[in-house]
Amino acid sequence: MKRYWAKKKRSKSGKKLTWGQFLKNKMSKYMKSEGSHKGAMKRLSREWKAYNKK
């Protein structure tokens, strides 16, 4: 079964990413670098807030 959010990594029309897309694109890399889920989520949260200000 395919997941609907797994089809696109980025919006081709130039629209902003949703939280789910943003999370999917970065979570694995941040889990490895931060070493924990809590650290990765804090970093993602900071970056998401900055991303939404654009």
Predicted confidence (pLDDT) per residue in 9-31, tens digit: 555 667 889 999 999 999 999 99
Q: Does 33 score more than 90 pLDDT?
A: yes
Average model confidence (pLDDT) across the chain: 83
pTM over 0.75: no
Domain boundaries, the chain: 17-53
pLDDT at 49: 94
In contact, 30 and 40? CB cutoff 8 Å: yes
pLDDT grade for 39, boundaries at 50, 70 and 90: very high
